[in-house]
Structure 1
Amino acid sequence: MDSKASTMNYAARTLAFVARFVVLGLAVAFIVGLFWPGSGSMLRSHLASVRPLAVAPMPDGPASYADAVAKAAPSVVNIYANKMVTEQPRELYSDPVLQRIFSVPTGPARTRRQQNLGSGVIVKEDGYVLTNNHVIANADDIQVLLYDGRVAKAQVVGSDEETDLAVLRVDAGNLPAIPMSEEGVKPRVGDVVLAIGNPFGIGQTVTMGIVSAIGRQLNLSSLENFIQTDAAINFGNSGGALVNAHGELVGINTSLIGQAVGAEGIGFAIPVSSAREVLDQIVQTGHVVRGWIGADYGAISISADSGLPSAARGVVVNEVSPGGPAARAGIQPRDVLLKLGSEDILDASDLRRHEASLKPGTAVEVSGLRNGAHFTASITPTQRPPTPMQPLRKVQ
């Protein structure tokens, strides 16, 4: 019984304690309402404005690249390069040995027309078109199919085998020039790109991918600086446009590594910066002039006694051409070249590109190390002699 009474007394005390605080709260609210009548509405509006912090959603990429395509596609053309080929019919043998020994003409020579398919990009409104040299090489007749369905005859203004670029001139009006990415703005790995061209001659086609790598070299020429992409590039895409998500030209599609070697999604484009340099020279003079210092060079082999820091850049001279500009300037084998003019030399590829951009006849200072000691020399480059090209895996 005592336990029950104790429990009831505890409950009564608790209820009395709560009642006192309720009465006190009502009294305070009455006084506040009496002397500050608008405080209640102010408090309610303040509490209503307080909301939980929301996390801003990440911006999504565009749902469509149709605007970029609409901007660039009218400037991309289909190219049909025709040449006459003369063939001598010969009797065929299944055995290759007999084929070589007993193969004899079986009739008069026959002439047929051979056609190369490719693509091109209108880069100037007055009719200049960029394409690949291997698309139009040795062609007797070049026809260009414009975006609006017109067919125009094209003439070769000039070509450059080392970069595999050629410039055509089309005699037609109302030609839309493709917008180019700003000079000095380079594509980044991961950027979305669109390849526009004429694969297999089926008509203009757009494929999408990303920039997979930049500065890629395949050892086809000394001036390689390819953009690698996984955007589908097929036969007939050669000379077509590689554009960014804004429809601006970033490269000229030129080659691929095909499925014959088990590759998939490995295509290459010439950067627009290189294409612009070739275009400007060919339009102005009809050909490309490159500087030459007359030396063969390669990567530096760092050793403890080289006098170079472990992260050194530059090149080591392997060979000097007798009577060439480097020889006349006193450059010697095993010299380490660190700077050309005001530019640091990063590696052999970087120096080749800088060397090619030199103006023949204009002296430039080169500095480096010889037997661990600093030296400088003045080299007057000459025009670069023809360089034999290695076979290119083309995208006709």
Structure 2
Amino acid sequence: MVKRSLFTNERQLGSGLFKKLNGKAAIGAAFFSFGLLMAGSATAAAPTSGAVSLPVKVINGEAYVKATSLTAALGGTGTYDKASQTYKYTPAVVPSVIKQVAPSVVAIIGKPDANGGRFALAHGTGVIIKSDGLIVTNAHVVQDMTRIVVVTADGKEYEGTRKQIDVTSDLAFVQIKASGLKPAKFAASPLKVTVGEPAIAIGTPVSFSLRNTATVGVISGLNRSVSDDYNLLQTDAAINPGNSGGPLVNMKGEVVGINSMKFVDVDIDSMGFAIPADTVQYVLNQFAKYGKVMRPSLGLELEESWSAVVGLPTEEPMTVTAVVSAEAQAAGFKVGDQIYAVGGKQIATLVELSELLKSYLPGGKIAVTVLADGDLVSRQVVLAKSLSQ
């Protein structure tokens, strides 16, 4: 089984290697039913998902729902006709969502330098996050790219500059000199998505000439530990080399993830992964505030249990294999100690630890519950600066 990024290097692909894929998309109509609830809210049946709660105002026994609450919860659009005093709601369908999001998606290509061949190109995808031309993409797309060129959905071409890069999260930010661009709307943190809800991937698969390709699937899984860094979203929406850095979108037109990698094997189909929107926001906020990601560390090298490594549900602790920071040494950690909880939260995997430490900075203190010499004790440790970039 191979884990592969979605970054296309045309020097490797060459020409004539296109493979036809039979895609399929399901577009369903949404039906809404409103009822008066004791808690002062109403329920609406969301397309292909469970009911959602909406705030209501009760007047003379009737429940009234704000139109903006309806569209915010379920997507779609609504208009009020003053003459007829009617409100027309149009449910979100795949074409309308794509039309909404596509202007915020760009294609990124690395032109060869003076010594590069004419076809020595590599490309990926990006998402506009600010109207002045700030774009998020994958770190592996632009890390080694020279003479970055960004093409917007309307076909305009811009020179791009790497502004910030964070290899650990596989996120990078590229700046172009532009104004009036349409930023994508990212889902709020903490991210709320459901397995089975529709997901749309937009990007530049295989060839740069296939810009703005859209495919449809569902959110296949949450909190996937594909690496030792952060949780990922899993989707069966068709994503291919060149989709790296492109958006994974819900039916409200919100970016829920940045497509990053897929599993490739003759026996594996439709297993793509995306960096969740809240991780994107975390990295963006860190760069905005500190100019880099201030990632903390316990100052320990840890080994997961066998159960955790193979993916079994487990409460087994991680074992200290090395004490690498002076702060951890001062706290009394030794090789062989077993870590049960950090910050009052039980953890069993490196990804769980990475996710928990998003809320901390180097230099802060945190309590660690550890089994040492047969005793379960709590130690206060000063967080070190992570060596991860």
Report the TM-score when normalising by structure 2: 0.69
Could you tell me how far apart the structure 2 residues matched to 1:162 and 1:193 are?
Answer: 25
Q: Structure 1 residue 162 and structure 2 residue 168: aligned?
A: yes
Could you tell me how far apart the structure 2 residues matched to 1:126 and 1:344 are?
Answer: 43
Q: Structure 1 residue 124 and structure 2 residue 126: aligned?
A: no
1:207 to 192, 215, 218: 215
Could you tell me how far apart the structure 1 residues matched to 2:153 and 2:306 are?
Answer: 53
**Which residue does 1:380 correspond to in 2?**
382
Give the direction of change, closer, same or farther, for the CA distance of 1:312–1:60 in structure 2 (3 Å limit).
Answer: closer
Q: How many residues align?
A: 296
2:281 to 272, 276, 281: 276
Identity, in percent, stands at 30
1:69-106 Cα distance to aligned partner (Å, 9 max, x none): 222111111111224275xxxxxxxxxxxxxxxxxxxx
Q: Structure 1 residue 263 and structure 2 residue 268: aligned?
A: yes
Can you give the 5+ residue segments of structure 2 that lack an aligned partner in the other structure?
1-44, 49-90, 308-312
Residue 286 of structure 1 deviates from its aligned partner by: 3.5
**Which residue does 1:26 correspond to in 2?**
none
Could you tell me how far apart the structure 2 residues matched to 1:291 and 1:59 are?
Answer: 40
Q: Structure 1 residue 234 and structure 2 residue 240: aligned?
A: yes
1:307-364 Cα distance to aligned partner (Å, 9 max, x none): xxxx973623232325532222102233333332243435332113324653111222
Mapped contact 1:84–1:114 kept (Cα < 8 A): no
Q: Structure 1 residue 81 and structure 2 residue 100: aligned?
A: no
Could you tell me how far apart the structure 2 residues matched to 1:338 and 1:364 are?
Answer: 13
Could you tell me how far apart the structure 2 residues matched to 1:63 and 1:184 are?
Answer: 23
Mapped contact 1:84–1:113 kept (Cα < 8 A): no
Corresponding letter in the other structure for 1:380: V
SS of residue in 2 equivalent to 1:84? coil
Could you tell me how far apart the structure 2 residues matched to 1:132 and 1:286 are?
Answer: 18
1:111-142 Cα distance to aligned partner (Å, 9 max, x none): 66732111100112232110011111222211
Residue 208 of structure 1 deviates from its aligned partner by: 0.4
Q: Structure 1 residue 313 and structure 2 residue 319: aligned?
A: no
Could you tell me how far apart the structure 2 residues matched to 1:209 and 1:111 are?
Answer: 37
Residue 371 of structure 1 deviates from its aligned partner by: 4.4
Give the direction of change, closer, same or farther, for the CA distance of 1:212–1:111 in structure 2 (3 Å limit).
Answer: closer
1:12-50 Cα distance to aligned partner (Å, 9 max, x none): xxxxxxxxxxxxxxxxxxxxxxxxxxxxxxxxxxxxxxx
1:304-383 correspondence to structure 2 within 5 Å: 313=315, 315-355=317-357, 357-383=359-385
Give the direction of change, closer, same or farther, for the CA distance of 1:111–1:314 in structure 2 (3 Å limit).
Answer: same
**Which residue does 1:22 correspond to in 2?**
none
SS of residue in 1 equivalent to 2:120? strand
**Which residue does 1:178 correspond to in 2?**
184
Corresponding letter in the other structure for 2:332: G
Could you tell me how far apart the structure 1 residues matched to 2:239 and 2:325 are?
Answer: 45
1:281-300 correspondence to structure 2 within 5 Å: 281-300=286-305
**Which residue does 2:69 correspond to in 1?**
none
SS of residue in 2 equivalent to 1:70? helix
Max Rg structure: 1
**Which residue does 1:27 correspond to in 2?**
none
Could you tell me how far apart the structure 1 residues matched to 2:355 and 2:243 are?
Answer: 26
Give the direction of change, closer, same or farther, for the CA distance of 1:244–1:322 in structure 2 (3 Å limit).
Answer: closer
Mapped contact 1:131–1:240 kept (Cα < 8 A): yes
SS of residue in 2 equivalent to 1:169? strand
1:173-204 Cα distance to aligned partner (Å, 9 max, x none): 11111111121133221111000111122121
Could you tell me how far apart the structure 1 residues matched to 2:200 and 2:306 are?
Answer: 40
Give the direction of change, closer, same or farther, for the CA distance of 1:261–1:328 in structure 2 (3 Å limit).
Answer: farther
Q: Structure 1 residue 71 and structure 2 residue 79: aligned?
A: no
Can you give the 5+ residue segments of structure 1 that lack an aligned partner in the other structure?
1-57, 87-109, 303-310, 388-396
2:159 to 145, 153, 158: 153
Q: Structure 1 residue 246 and structure 2 residue 252: aligned?
A: yes
Corresponding letter in the other structure for 1:347: T
More helix by share: 1
Residue 372 of structure 1 deviates from its aligned partner by: 4.7
